[in-house]
Structure 1
Amino acid sequence: MSTLNVIRSGLFGLLGSLMLLTSTLAQDASKVNIPVPPYQRCDSFKYQMTKEDIEKDFVVDLPEQVTYENGVMYWEANEQKYWPGLTYRENDIWYGKASITLKMAPKSGIATAFIRGKQSADEIDYEWVGKDTKNVQSTFFVDGHHKERVEAKYSAGSSDLAAEFHTYDLVYKKDMIEWWMDGKQIDSWSKNEHPTAFPANAREWKMNLWNGGLQHGDWAGKIDWTSEPKSAKAAISAISFESYCDADTVKGQHKTLGGEVETGTTPAPVQPALPPPPVAQTTTDQPEAQPEVTQLETQPDATQTPAIDGIMPPF
């Protein structure tokens, strides 16, 4: 057998092996169950006020200051430990209605907060300051800063927000934010009316107490731990979230933020075309033609937001 025929035979054998290998890889890839973040949870969920149910989805800050009794969760702040609360541990919510039913903490200087978003980034808040139990405040940040307004106050009239349970909803849509209290809309902010002053990426979800009097006494009130009560307590009887997904998205599924439904499997990779069999050389002086290889260009991640100090405390 000539040297050329030996080369041909070896190449055909190699190509056959490659085709078998790529076919096997394609079959195996269809069985891989790897979610592709970021994705969105497309259902509604309501939490029981028990340690087991809360810790299933939330990181609890200062768990020794968080207690549960008769279907109610309590956060208690004192002079040494004044930031008990919850942070949702997943990255699978975006637009939707976040709801809480609570009695605010009444001590001057202590702020109660219910938040969508992240400190020093995009953030949407409900806040209650302990020196004022008759009003609730709505506010937001864009890239860690107030834009076009600071906060708005809503009066509860004769109600004492520290003595009675009330339900508060943060409704976050792609082009609108709405604040609701006991089924009544009390504030709103439109992206269409304020295109450069709208928090477009307030994905996180957290709630807590914090000592607003340390740096913002004019706003939250000065705090005196020697006077009664020597601690501040908030009571929470309900927490829930309702995702706003596209109408054609099945509840219980996840969808990618680009709008595609995430089924939990990774599609088989597209295999490049195999090069044709080599052509017999007319001379032994010319090298064999090599297949052209095209490399995919990787784009840098340009989504990082610089940290800018806001007014909220660390979580």
Structure 2
Amino acid sequence: MESAGDWCLIESDPGVFTQLIKKFGVKGVQVEEIWKIDDEIFDNLRPVHGLIFLFKYLQQDEPPLPVVKDKLLEKIYFAKQVINNACATQAVISLLLNCNHPDIDLGPELTKLKEFSMSFDPKMRGLTLSNSQTIRSAHNSMSQQTIFEFDPKVASKDEDAYHFVGYIPIDGRLYELDGLRDGPIDHGPIAPQQDWLDVVRPIIMKRINVYTEGEIHFNLMALVSDRKMVYERQIADMLKDPQSLGMDATEIDLEVRRLRSLIENEEVKMQRYQKEMARRRHNYLPFIVTLLKILAEEKKLMPLYEKAKERASKKGAKRMKV
């Protein structure tokens, strides 16, 4: 793969992705983790603009349907992944650039990127994305603090590789956007009155079922409208025309209180995301070295080491039995 500088690995975490999107300059959207694929969890997050799916990548994992390579690429923004470790950013940007919703403001950087490269072929779009200093800087700002450096040349050949793809409805059809393919994968039409999430649900479940029993290394996240913005809009609509709701004053007051409580929860969550990111970026090495020195001086280091070694050995033996 061609490179435009080093791109770090990004953790599959809704807080990381939400802050990454803000770094791009996008407004009106955030990312939420999905623990189970059912109507109830999606009902609390609507509108859902797209899904980001993380899975263990298999070399033999072929697309179930042919990829789109015709004139539809003039309407669908699909970029070929041309650099390593960029699939997380590639997945979220692919969704954002195919969203057409009034809640979402792409901001100047992504708007300029789309306008400049929309006429390009997928590979040239990928090269344009990879050469954006703003996008690469935003991507790398999400990296965790590395305490030790490892030589990639001695990495295990059996090491698992993971990959991000996106699912999104476009013009009444469901598409899978995977930067390692030559184009979008068309999963077929969405009926006029059908929820696109009902179409994508069995596709994701089928993909999960390909893997061996006990495999849990999957992650699903939803690209949704900014929850605080949605709740504030709901409050404004209620107070603007309360009579049309068919609710009495007490019911309206209770609902407004509930929505304000949800807004406070969102504010707390965003503060937590910022703290978690600060912890990811913090260098704990001086603290660890000092702690090890103190434990060694107090003759506690080796007993703790032996205890940890024994515990690891027991876990390994238990795993072998299973």
Question: What's the TM-score once normalised by structure 2's chain length?
Answer: 0.25
**TM-score normalised over the length of structure 1:** 0.25
More strand by share: 1
Over alpha carbons, which structure has the higher Rg? 1
Between Structure 1 and Structure 2, the one with more helix by share is 2
